[in-house]
Amino acid sequence: MSNNCSHSAGKSLLIYPPFADPTWPYVSLPTLKGYLGRRGIQVTVRDLNVEVFSFLTSEPTIAGWRQHLAARFQVLNGRERLSLSEQMEYRRVAEALPLVQQDFGALLTVMREEGSFYDRAAYAAGRDGVEDLFQIMEAVYFPFRYNCNRADHLVAPWDFQLLDSYIANRTSPLDQFYRQQLAGMAAPGFVGISLTFVSQIPEAFYLCRLLRDVFPNCFLMLGGPCVDLMVRHGRPEVVAWILDHVDGITVQEGEKTLEQLLPLLAAGRFPDRPQLAAIPNLITRDPVSGAIQQGPPWVLDLTESAAPDYSDLDLTLYPAPSPMLLYSPTRGCYWNKCSFCGYGFNQSGAHAYREIPVQQAVADLQALQEKYGAANFYFSCDVLSPDYAFRLAQAILDTGLEVRWSTDLRIEAAYTPERCRLLYRAGLRAVAFGVESGSPKVLRLMHKGVTPERIRAVNRHFHQAGISTAWMTFLGHPGEGFKEAQATLDLLAAERKVVDQFIVGAFGLTPGSKIACRPEEFGIESISFTAGDVFRFFPIYSDRTARINANDQRFAQLDTQIDDLSSRYQLDHYPWAGAISTHHSFLYLLRYGQRVFAKAWPRPQKKKQRAGAGKKIHPRFPLAELRQREEQFMGQYLECALRPDPETGLTPLCFDHFQAALARESEKERR
Ligand code: B12
Ligand code: SF4
């Protein structure tokens, strides 16, 4: 807000920005709307993350990109030599040009219609088409990259300069879309943006700036897990920088914050400093003194919650043939001990495990089913305790509610065969387990509280009850040697027939986790950040075991084993069928059974380009060589850009550093 007294008393708007999974509505804003509505406070939810897809796939958008790519290709192809940056762009442009001839408008229909969605070949072609769309965007908006789980620069993390220039240069591929949306809109009094995932950072801040320009008297706010992480772990100057873009930041849960703030704003005056300072979980800056203030911490008593309200959202827009809704029956984790986990707000200490009483949860589900015709639900939370899961299941059965659901559970002895059958009868069809490791030693180091024997037994109980099981594992936990890493792959291979999906990830140091807070206990010798990582999302660490492992040739075998195991499955990344806990995967599991991803699907033939739709291009620079050249440069660059400077403790990687390295390299080539 531009000053401290004028304020527009218009509507309150909550926005979910791109880029994230568009196949179902995310739960945060409907949850807030439900809570506020129960208290007589009206807000409108807009899911721009899904709305934008019709813009991205529309003929005018594609035609604009086609034109841009053709023109850019002509210019670069006409040059005698290209700088390194131009070489990178040129290759992307040349590779994207043939892709731009498809009928992108049809892609959403493929995903929304039952006939094509459940036809594996048609589905795979539709999925590939959406991926092609993102590849085209990568060429048009070089050096930025986009997909449903990413919006970033080729190599540099988002820092203040990069974000400022992204906004000032109107770089966003969605600029025109946003302006169209804002043009017809009555001035809102409040806009809150949910910044949940890192992949929403650039568009969230871009929207803040546009909203500020178009509606200068509107109170602007950011909330959500990602902004909470920025505030909690980012560099000290982060909060002030964010407050240059918005009037308030909500950390942790937003129910009470909005319940207290929105009535004040509705009165048409900007609240004064003491009023703002008293609002729970709210960070603001006093416009006169510039002092930053934070309201008292607050957590929701879940008996006070209300069912999420999805009524503002057009559920037919989501690319899937039927609605699947997210519902969060619990918050926090009752275990809350795992060494690597910084989930949600666990480590802040304020976010204890809480449950919505089962009768209330069943009534919520019933209401959601009646109102939206949804039979499928994802219980979107850290975990359910076994006791809660059983009581909820029994209450679902007692009420005669017919729902199918999926969620994350912890491996616990309480999940006996009989109990798993109860869960199945109550509609549980897919479960994801944080198995993490197959090595007893590493499981102990993680404080995971389970053994490989228990993992094996409990997984079988679920699988045999008819519930699809997904294992999330990772390699490289500090203290893990070859033997332990091999144990994870051995366990997966041995249980393959009863594991329906899996992922083998790589350990990443999560800010706020026990390892990050007490690194010395886990053999971590030092932690540093890149100069551009102002939000501190990507710690770089040096670890004793990793150094020893680097000289162990046997590690090379592990990749081959993972590839071999993966080739026996149909695995994919978010948000597609084949990824763990996605909407599309759930629908496929319901339709084709537990084992639908436990064998590879035949790949669709790449469709021939429409005859005469595009002229054949003749690149004068060899694309394979350019790719090789780029990989070589990136390898060398990252080696030095990720080496910590002993004086600052930072590694040099940031946008400016990368640009300078590119320029030096081009200069070298020119001479
Ligand atoms: C369930 C879950 C998932 C599900 C469903 C996600 C989906 N897209 O629908 C699955 C398993 C698929 C998933 C996937 C991923 N996830 Co996830 N997930 C969660 C989890 C466990 C719970 C989220 C939830 O439902 N919370 C309940 C709702 C009600 O709470 P909430 O969203 O926090 O909203 C509250 C507040 O934040 C606040 N609030 C939110 N927005 C706003 C806005 C305003 C204006 C205000 C005032 C307040 C406010 O008020 C709300 C009500 O109290 C969280 C961890 C956690 N405990 O938060 C991670 C979390 C959200 N996931 C995370 C990540 C990283 C991912 C992945 C990127 C993982 C990966 N490497 O691929 C993918 C991305 C998927 C995608 N592209 O969308 C991170 C996000 C932060 C980040 N670092 O990016 C989290 C926070 C975990 C973590 N700490 O690392 N995830
Ligand atoms: S990894 Fe899962 S079980 Fe462990 S603390 Fe985190 S949320 Fe809880």
Q: Name the strands in the sheet holding 468-475, side by side, starting at the edge strand that comes first in the sequence.
A: 324-327, 376-379, 404-409, 428-436, 468-475, 501-506
Q: What is the 3-state secondary structure (H, E, C) of 306-368?
A: CCCCCCCCCHHHCCCCCCEEEECCEECCCCCCCCCCCCCCHHHCCCCCEECCHHHHHHHHHHH
Least Cα distance to 27 among 331, 380, 405 occurs for 380
Per-residue pLDDT, averaged over 550-576, amounts to 95
> What CA–CA distance (Å, rounded) separates 220 from 246?
5
Cα–Cα dist 148/53, whole Å = 11
Distances in Å between the Cα of 199 and the Cα atoms of 149, 160, 357, 513 are 6, 16, 33, 21
Over range 222-238, report the average pLDDT: 96
CA distance 191 to 222: 9
Q: What does the pLDDT read at residue 670?
A: 78
Query: How far apart are the CA of 615 and the centre of ligand 1, in A?
Result: 44
Answer whether 336 contacts ligand 2 (Cβ < 6 A): yes
**Ligand 2 pocket, 308 CB below 6 A?**
no
Kindly write down the DSSP assignment for every residue of 399-466, as one continuous string.
Answer: HT---EEEEEE---TT--HHHHHHHHHTTEEEEEEEEE-S-HHHHHHTT----HHHHHHHHHHHHHTT
pLDDT digits (tens, 9 = 90+) for 367-406: 999 999 999 999 999 999 999 999 999 999 999 999 999 9
Q: Which residue has the CA at smallest separation from atom 17 of ligand 1?
A: 197
Is 144 strand, coil or helix? strand
- The reply to whether ligand 1 has any atom less than 6 angstroms from the CB of 468 is no
Beta strand pairing call for 376-379 and 404-409: parallel
Is the distance from the beta carbon of residue 347 to the nearest atom of ligand 2 less than 6 Å? no
Q: Residues near 32 by Cβ (< 8 Å), separated by ≥ 6? A: 14, 43, 192, 254, 255, 258
Per DSSP, the three-state class of 588 is helix
Q: What is the pLDDT of residues 81-120, one digit of tens each?
A: 999 999 999 999 999 999 998 899 999 999 999 999 999 9
Res 662: pLDDT: 94
Q: Residue 625: pLDDT above 60? A: yes
What's the rounded mean pLDDT across residues 494-508?
98
- Summarised one tens digit per residue, pLDDT across range 28-46 is 999 999 999 999 999 999 9
The ligand minimizing its distance to the Cα of 510 is 1
DSSP reduced 3-state for 494: helix
Give yes or no for residue 611 having a pLDDT over 50.
no
Is residue 14's pLDDT more than 70? Answer: yes
Residue 15 has pLDDT above 50, yes or no: yes
Lowest mean pLDDT among 3-17, 84-98, 179-193, 572-586: 3-17
Cα of 545 from ligand 2 centre, angstroms:
24
The residues, ordered by sequence, that sit 6+ positions from 40 with a Cβ below 8 Å of its Cβ are none
Ligand 1 centroid from CA 197, angstroms: 7
Ligand 2 atom nearest residue 333's Cα = 8
Distance 335 CA to ligand 2 centre (A): 6
For ligand 1, the distance from its centroid to the CA atom of residue 132, given in whole angstroms, is 26
* Phi, psi angles (nearest 5°) of residue 91: -60, -45
pLDDT number for residue 1: 53
Q: Lowest-confidence range among 390-404, 534-548, 612-626?
A: 612-626
pLDDT at 8 over 70: no
Which of these ranges, 213-222, 464-473, 612-621, has the smallest mean pLDDT?
Answer: 612-621
Which-ligand-closest: CA of 340? 2
* Amino acid code (one letter) for 452: P
Q: Describe the crossing of helices 417-425 and 452-464 by its angle, rounded to 10 degrees.
A: 40
Query: Which residue is closest in CA terms to ligand 1's atom 44?
Result: 223
Distances (CA, A) of 320 to 118, 254, 531: 10, 29, 41
Q: Please tell me which residue, 482 or 343, carries the higher pLDDT value.
A: 482
What six digits make up the tokens of 596? Answer: 């639908």
- For residues 531 and 157, give the distance between their C-alpha atoms in angstroms, rounded to a whole number: 9
What would the two tokens of residue 40 be?
Answer: 């007589």
Q: What is the 3-state secondary structure (H, E, C) of 91-132?
A: HHHHHHHHHHHCCCHHHHHHHHCHHHHCCHHHHHHHHHHHHH
Q: Is the CB of 410 under 6 A from ligand 2?
A: yes
* Segment 130-138 long-range contacts (CB within 8 Å, at least 24 positions apart): 132/99, 132/102, 133/56, 133/57, 133/104, 133/107, 135/92, 135/95, 135/96, 135/99, 136/65, 136/69, 136/96, 136/99, 136/100, 137/56, 137/65, 137/173, 138/92, 138/96
Would you say residue 5 has pLDDT above 70? no
The answer to whether residue 217 scores a pLDDT higher than 80 is yes
Are 197 and 28 within 8 A, CB to CB?
Answer: no
Locate tokens 């993490």: which residue? 436
Ligand nearest to the CA of 512: 1
Output the residue whose Cα is nearest ligand 1's atom 46.
223
Q: What pLDDT score was predicted for residue 614?
A: 55
- Measured between alpha carbons, how far is residue 71 from residues 138, 163, 171, 176 in Å? 16, 27, 18, 20
Q: Dihedral of CA 574/578/581/584: which sign?
A: positive
Which ligand lies nearest to the CA atom of residue 345 in the structure?
1
Residue type, 229: L
pLDDT number for residue 350:
53
Ligand 2 pocket, residue 282 CB under 6 Å: no
Helix (H, G, I), strand (E, B) or coil at 495: coil
Which ligand 2 atom is nearest residue 336's CA? 5
- Rounded to whole angstroms, the maximal C-alpha distance in the chain is 79
Q: Is the CB of 159 within 6 Å of ligand 1?
A: no
* 364 CA from centroid of ligand 1 (Å): 21
Residue 633 CA, ligand 1 centroid: distance in Å = 35
383: Cβ below 6 Å to ligand 2? yes
Q: How confident is the model at residue 646 (pLDDT cuts 50, 70, 90)?
A: confident
Specify whether the CB–CB gap between 469 and 500 falls below 8 A.
yes
422-431: buried (b, 16+ CB within 10 Å) or exposed (e) per residue?
bbbebbbbbb
Residue among 331, 339, 343 to mutate when testing ligand 2 (max atoms within 8 A of CB): 343
What angle do helix axes 623-641 and 655-670 make, rounded to 10 degrees? Answer: 130
The DSSP-derived string for 54-89 is HHHTSHHHHHHHHHHHHHHHHHHHT-S---HHHHHH
84 Cβ closer than 6 Å to some ligand 2 atom: no
What is the structure's pLDDT at 2? 46
pLDDT at 605: 67
pLDDT computed for residue 6 by the predictor: 61
C-beta 31 within 6 A of ligand 1 = yes
Query: Tell me, what's the pLDDT at 612?
Result: 41
The two three-digit tokens of residue 107, written as one number: 């892609």
Of the residues 328, 333, 339, 454, which should be mutated to test ligand 2's pocket, given the most ligand atoms within 8 Å of the CB?
A: 333
- Ligand 1 within 6 A of CB of 327: no
Mean pLDDT rounded to a whole number for the chain: 94
Q: Could you tell me the distance, in angstroms and rounded to a whole number, from the CA of residue 34 to the centre of ligand 2?
A: 27
Do residues 397 and 369 touch, judged by C-beta distance below 8 A? Answer: no
**Nearest-CA neighbor of 16 among 6, 5, 31, 1?**
31
pLDDT given at position 667: 87
Q: Is 588 in the pocket of ligand 1 (CB under 6 A)?
A: no
